[in-house]
Amino acid sequence: MLFIPLGATDTIGASCHYLNVDGTGILLDAGVDPDSEGLASLPRLEILDENPGWTVDHVVITHAHHDHLGSLPVLIKRYPRLCVHMTGATRELAEILLPASARLQRRKQQEGTSAHAPLFDEEEVRVVDFIYSTYELNQPFDLTGGSGDTEISGTFFNSGHILGSVGVEIVAKRKAKPVRIFYSSDTNLRHQSIIPGGEYPAPGLDVLIMESTMGADDDATTTTRASEEEKLGKAIQRVISRGGAVLIPAFALGRAQEVVALIDRYKSAGLVPDDVPVYTTGSMRAIAGLYDRTRLTTPRIDPEFEVFGVQQKRHPRSTEGTRASVRKPSIHIAASGMMFQNTLSNRLAQYMLSNENNGIFFVGFAREDSPGGALLEAAENGKKVVLNKERGPQKIKCEIGQFRLSGHSHRDDLLELAESLDPLKTILVHGELEAREWLAGRIREGTSDQQVLLPTVGQPIHF
């Protein structure tokens, strides 16, 4: 057996990992790096050309975040006989998100904001989506490959991260003893506001491939989700009562809907006046509609809750309208969560920084090298921040805060997961090196016989 990461080992980049199980080639996820464009944003698929035995039969898509899904159309063009597996909700999300990604790539090229040719067009995405096979949670499906000589099955487990998200257990039914591999993907052991905590296979795995996003967050142990929710509620109340506007940068898929659910609670509890407008954007609204349509058929904490049961306004399209909207008490939920350049959250932050009444509150992970990460760091050290390279450094006068309401497990929960699943080997991916090293150190301390590996992109692991 063989494992080769093709992206997203020490960053949150293009998640895509190659697994060869007795001759069957399985790709785990097909992401793009959200911070690059064109060919540079793709996983390193060319590594698989080095060995003719490294065939590709299947791809399993764990969830519809761009860093796990965004290169799927490229994979399908490259491997025309590829079998594609996901949950029904992920498929519906893909049908919204991949055409939107194609349109965005074309627009950027036409406007001249990107020098890269689009990786795929809308037509190509629509033509291929009928080949996606979908499965219920906890129901084994076949993953045996054309050239494989062992029967292989996959089983999806709710990963507690976003709508439709799963971890996947892969079992190779070898005669002597079955081999069990579990890929956690992005996972959350605890309940959020809408999506309930993750579920996992039985202990005694052979290999665990686990994410490490929050591994470097050392404050997580001293906070709870409830206390963070309360702190955010009070912070929003503070800003609104002094006449300011609140910006919550959030991924359009997942975080945005969870934040809307939280604001609903703050309004019901009287923390935030009912008439304070809540602004959301087009893609968030399309996704919210899907959250609502699938509330009875996918894991929920409260199947009665509807995202569109909470009053929301659409973000104004014009620059003037956007500027005017942040001049009065209001709450703005805007992508991207890491405030990448040329996104709405980045533009809103540029308008809002100079007013001390305003507040910008992060509720998820912001990569160190992202504008969001730079803003958090600059605010902590009393420095100026560059959100937009053309605009240059800006003074930070407004309130900046970060709240631990991520869709990812904090590091103690990840440790608990690695210990309770009791694998012979744990492979850590999807986290900065510091995060992976902390987790690796603690897993090695806690268990004497578990081997922990931190591969780099392209580094094969045989087992």
Kindly list the residues in this chain that would bind Zn ion in the complex (CB under 5 A): 65, 67, 186
Minimum distance from residue 186 beta carbon to Zn ion (Å): 4
CB of 253 to Zn ion, least distance (A): 8
Q: Tokens 């003037």 appear where?
A: 320
Residue 291, CA distances (Å) to 133, 156, 282, 285 in order: 20, 19, 14, 10
What values do phi and psi take at 167, rounded to 5?
-100, 160
Q: Could you give phi then psi for residue 192, rounded to 5 degrees?
A: -95, -145
DSSP assignment string, 88-154: HHHHHHHHHHHHHHHHHHHHHHHHTS--SPPSS-HHHHHHHGGGEEEE-TT--EE---TT--S-EEE
State the SS3 of 293-314. HCCCCCCCCCCCCCHHHCCCEE
Least distance (Å) from Zn ion to the CB of residue 68?
6
**Which CB atom, from 337 or from 359, has the smaller least distance to Zn ion?**
337
- Neighbouring residues of 426: CB distance < 8 A, sequence distance ≥ 6: 207, 208, 209, 210, 418, 443, 450, 451, 452, 453
Q: How far is the CB of 430 from Zn ion (least distance, A)?
A: 6
Cβ count within 10 A of residue 55:
17
Query: Which C-beta is closer to Zn ion: that of 186 or that of 399?
Result: 186
The three-state secondary structure class of 461 is strand
**Cβ closer to Zn ion: 29 or 437?**
29
CB of 36 to Zn ion, least distance (A): 15
The whole-angstrom separation of Cα 276 and Cα 138 is 42
Minimum CB–partner distance for residue 63 and Zn ion (Å): 6
- Whichever of 33 and 67 has its CB closer to Zn ion, that residue is 67
Q: Which residues contact 430 (CB under 8 A, 6 or more apart)?
A: 8, 9, 12, 15, 185, 186, 211, 212, 213
Residue 69: name the closest of 46, 90, 44, 48 by CA.
90
Pick between residue 211 and residue 437 the one whose CB is nearest to Zn ion.
Answer: 211
The shares of helix, strand and coil residues in the chain, as percent rounded to the nearest 5, are: 35, 20, 45
State the minimum distance, in angstroms, from the CB of residue 404 to Zn ion.
Answer: 16
Residue 31, by phi and psi: left (phi above 0), alpha (psi -120 to 50) or beta?
A: beta
Cβ closer to Zn ion: 69 or 398? 69
Nearer CB in complex with Zn ion: 266/365: 365
> Minimum distance from CB of 394 to Zn ion (Å)?
29
The sheet with strand 141-142 has its strands ordered as: 141-142, 152-158, 166-172, 179-185, 207-211, 425-429, 451-453
Shortest CB 168 distance to Zn ion, Å = 14
| Residue whose CB is less far from Zn ion, 35 or 186 | 186
* Rounded least distance, CB 251 to Zn ion, Å: 8
Residue 133: beta bridge partners?
A: 85
Contacts of 191 (CB under 8 A, 6+ apart): 160, 197, 225, 301
| Identity of the residue, 198 or 329, whose beta carbon is nearer to Zn ion in the bound complex | 198
Q: Which two tokens stand for residue 242?
A: 């002094």
Contact 168, 28 (CB under 8 A): yes
Closest to Zn ion by CB, 67 vs 399, is 67
355 φ, ψ (degrees, to nearest 5): -110, 115
Q: How far is the CB of 315 from Zn ion (least distance, A)?
A: 23
Q: Minimum CB separation from Zn ion for residue 163, in Å?
A: 11
- Enter the DSSP assignment of 38: G
Beta carbon nearer to Zn ion, 58 or 430: 430
- Give the nearer residue to Zn ion in terms of CB position, either 240 or 454: 454
Q: How far, in Å, CA of 334 to CA of 285, rounded?
A: 11
Separation CA 430–CA 21 (nearest Å) = 22
